[in-house]
Structure 1
């Protein structure tokens, strides 16, 4: 049966709060005439030293203290103190949580080649002990389980016994933050300190519209006080059967919202020892009401220019550059429709970098080369490696472990391929996102491989090494429309028809006994008589091997589930071209087939 741990990431931090709020006074710049666009210099060489970026969320150090503070924490299945019943899964127990865990985590990054740590400071509230902005534990007293009760529904937990277990576990988790507060440690400041010690550049990331508490705007402790006011939230950001709850984020057309977020951004830039700022619009891509007017877009452009001016003032004060950019979906038109005009901001030099990525699974066909043509040469483009492969459910051989998504940081072959495809389309470097989430479910044999971080930004290092490429696949949870790149799969192919599929790859050496393997994954009920496959125009290959085995394991996940069957083909590695490659699947049968996934490997040649 499917492991409950497969839902860990989504369930752990999913939706929102609010308590009564006083609207803050508006800064002078919100009520005066817009600033002129920044006059941007040519692309700065400063980003040459920022090629291997690691993005960590507010809980990065706190998820698995047994890994980063093993002398004080261990995994145990503990009994409920009220009922005496054992919990449903092991949890980390011990403590108190110490700053040494932060330093150990940063040591791991430094030892494996990360040059820039992009740490997230907030969700809907600040998660660090802010002096100027509502913080996540404001009003909390250690052991007060009821402080978190209103958030249970945001994680889909309603049954009384499950709610109580959630409160036990979540209180234990949040007390790690309280441990640092009691010790006088600001973990956000400590992160910068740890980075300086190991000569990693510290950048800070701000989530622009985090919806983890949105299912309970007035009751979840996650939410900023302003969020309880319905008039401050979006009303038209959803359509069809989309979840209205997850689309009711802050409306940046409201001056009060911009003022609130400005205070958050200003504090981390002015009062902390960071040297780069990322605005994260994938948590969530919600800004203004859809079909924003030209006036609204102009207003938002000016607001972003004010933020750029803030970072430039910090750079002038410290004498160090302070790059400013955004993590975004790849749908630039949809972003402009909600007030975020990426093309203008990049071409005029307001943004120093962008990081196009996916919501949870990584993207395999992000058109970074097309972005370069649209956005001009001033902006630096990074590729984003996100921790999910796609929505192909896989399992261990016996079926005792079954996951709806592969955590790719457990597979060096998959992360190498993902990076190679992005670098081959012209990105400057790589940002890792959710890499550490592989460790959270505590699945036997599933661990993030931090050595896979090394040299991931160098095509010269990646060529000739084993890789596994995947294709993005559609799914309700995995593809938030209209912002996610439209997935090519699953795809139905009628009898005697063919379908092309496009994938970015890097060229490989032809003198190292490598081969190209393509695995076409069909629904188990499909019985193709002939299933020809071609790569980049070669003569179709009809010879295949039916198998349930994955091309490479991902931790303990080694096989397809009984719902699918794979057909494996061998090709010369010389067929791969640098950049975009075309794989064509034919259905030379009398019944329609459904291609659910296509997996592609570069591996040592077999006889």
Structure 2
């Protein structure tokens, strides 16, 4: 009989980044303030805490070293250095960052999960080479053979992803998980499969899923063993792909994990808006497993605006999942801390400015495979005589229910990259023609402009259709600079 708690608001705090954000030679209070002050009175009931990206330890460990070991602790950025230096400062002075956070959560009556990244490959990029662990250098046979993974921009070489078809890899990861759970009294564990979803050859996930199912089963047995000694039930959460189909292709048999009682919570997504909440909830029906869509902090490539975060949170909660999971929010400033209090439930979002955006091709190559199953921007326009490009634009229920007050402003904004006055483009909204648009500059973009239209509440549905037909492209640009639908925003403003 599953004994997991019903949770509503899970907040993932990147503990490695917390070490980089606090001052050098910090005190325990410095770390506690960084982690917990943003969560006060926020409604967060579960802290999901990541430390060491799964490849190095910022806690006491016999299995993993501190960051930078493979480079003899020489760093190419101050942020990487501070992760190392502050973790070492704590440990050298008889303190343990992970123990400090677990104790801090207990004192604040917050449950805390350890978030373990199964396959983080930040070490692939030159600016994060400090994260490369020695075990990847010592065991090249543990890594994917040099190959190219397909994405929308051609082929991308990934060379530091662990190959989970290798049993030694799975066994090593299990030992790391065991060490953490035996040394620290967490309430549960998150297996973060979305950092990053290359576990097998890019086209072999479906046929290799049994290996990850075996792995998840072993983790469940471990949690029951350790929890049994403590007299506690340790919960297991998994973070998987945006869509059920995408998870299957990656090798994540979520249905089997749920039906066999291995898991307690499913979290979906890492940067895509089109999370298949209804598909997952149908898949999990009758299993007792909870579902949470992931609210990501960087939908606009870096630090999305508060209005976009509120609009996206409302969209994710509209299908009534069990709750929400916040990731990469980084609530360091006062306004961002207020945002943390707003995004946890629908009622807190009422009456606030929101922006609903169409999914962007986020510049994180490891998620693109699953994005093949939904429309996302940018999209290149081709000249057509009769047909148009149709883009679905979702609106939150506050706007779609047409209960917004008269003084609220509703605007549609479309950015057609490199559009000129000589382009002939027709726009329709839910079948009705949109007349002449206003314009405003696109921030930080030279010679680029938004097209804007004021809309009435009666023109809004839950899912709207924006049709764009390029009748004729500027003859001076058409061969070398296509017209591209770069962004589509639907704004609700109260002030």
Q: Same fold (TM over 0.5)?
A: yes
2-structure distance, mates of 1:232, 1:435: 32
The answer to whether the 8 Å contact 1:500/1:584 transfers is yes
Distance 1:273 1:571, change over 3 A: same
By how many angstroms is 1:376 displaced?
3.3
User: Which position in structure 2 is the counterpart of 1:532?
Assistant: 427
By how many angstroms is 1:539 displaced?
2.3
The answer to whether the 8 Å contact 1:237/1:248 transfers is no
Q: Does 1:46 align with 2:5?
A: yes
The answer to whether the 8 Å contact 2:395/2:490 transfers is no
Q: 2:149 aligns to what SS in structure 1?
A: coil
Residue deviations 1:443-492 (CA, integer Å, cap 9, x gap): xxx87611111142322232332101112222654674314465522221
Q: 1:584 aligns to what SS in structure 2?
A: strand
User: Which position in structure 2 is the counterpart of 1:489?
Assistant: 377
Q: Does 1:544 align with 2:437?
A: yes
By how many angstroms is 1:295 displaced?
7.5
Residue deviations 1:111-143 (CA, integer Å, cap 9, x gap): 433221111133253322333322225979xxx
1-structure distance, mates of 2:113, 2:278: 26
1-structure distance, mates of 2:431, 2:207: 52
Distance 1:461 1:213, change over 3 A: closer
Alignment of structure 1 residues 364-513 onto 2, 5 Å: 364-378=273-287, 379-390=289-300, 405-408=301-304, 411-436=305-330, 449-474=336-361, 477=364, 480-484=367-371, 486-491=374-379, 492-495=381-384, 497-508=387-398, 510=403, 512-513=405-406
The answer to whether the 8 Å contact 2:58/2:97 transfers is yes
Q: Does 1:60 align with 2:29?
A: no
Higher relative contact order (CA 8 A, sep 6+): 1
Residue deviations 1:23-42 (CA, integer Å, cap 9, x gap): xxxxxxxxxxxxxxxxx65x
Q: Aligned pair count?
A: 472
The answer to whether the 8 Å contact 1:236/1:289 transfers is no
The answer to whether the 8 Å contact 1:474/1:487 transfers is no
Distance 1:169 1:388, change over 3 A: closer
2-structure distance, mates of 1:469, 1:593: 23
TM-score (norm 2): 0.85
Distance 1:563 1:278, change over 3 A: farther
Q: 1:243 aligns to what SS in structure 2?
A: strand
Alignment of structure 1 residues 183-262 onto 2, 5 Å: 183-214=93-124, 222-225=132-135, 227-235=137-145, 238-240=148-150, 241-244=154-157, 246-262=158-174
User: Which position in structure 2 is the counterpart of 1:80?
Assistant: none
TM-score (norm 1): 0.70
Alignment of structure 1 residues 230-309 onto 2, 5 Å: 230-235=140-145, 238-240=148-150, 241-244=154-157, 246-292=158-204, 296-309=208-221
Distance 1:96 1:593, change over 3 A: closer
The answer to whether the 8 Å contact 1:289/1:338 transfers is no
Q: 2:94 aligns to what SS in structure 1?
A: coil
Alignment of structure 1 residues 24-103 onto 2, 5 Å: 41=2, 46-47=5-6, 50-65=7-22, 73=23, 95-103=24-32
2-structure distance, mates of 1:511, 1:226: 55
By how many angstroms is 1:324 displaced?
0.9
Distance 1:604 1:562, change over 3 A: same
By how many angstroms is 1:280 displaced?
1.0
By how many angstroms is 1:604 displaced?
2.9
User: Which position in structure 1 is the counterpart of 2:490?
Assistant: 600
The answer to whether the 8 Å contact 2:90/2:96 transfers is yes
Residue deviations 1:370-399 (CA, integer Å, cap 9, x gap): 222344342322121111123xxxxxxxxx
The answer to whether the 8 Å contact 2:299/2:362 transfers is no
2-structure distance, mates of 1:340, 1:135: 29
User: Which position in structure 2 is the counterpart of 1:16?
Assistant: none
Q: 1:522 aligns to what SS in structure 2?
A: strand
2-structure distance, mates of 1:237, 1:574: 52
The answer to whether the 8 Å contact 2:418/2:483 transfers is no
2-structure distance, mates of 1:137, 1:568: 48
Distance 1:473 1:254, change over 3 A: same
By how many angstroms is 1:523 displaced?
1.4
Distance 1:130 1:224, change over 3 A: farther
Q: 1:432 aligns to what SS in structure 2?
A: strand
Q: Which runs of 5+ in 1 are unaligned?
A: 1-39, 66-72, 74-94, 141-145, 153-165, 391-404, 440-445, 550-558
The answer to whether the 8 Å contact 2:9/2:344 transfers is yes
Alignment of structure 1 residues 170-189 onto 2, 5 Å: 170-189=80-99
Q: Does 1:133 align with 2:43?
A: no
Distance 1:511 1:327, change over 3 A: closer
Distance 1:585 1:190, change over 3 A: same
By how many angstroms is 1:585 displaced?
2.5
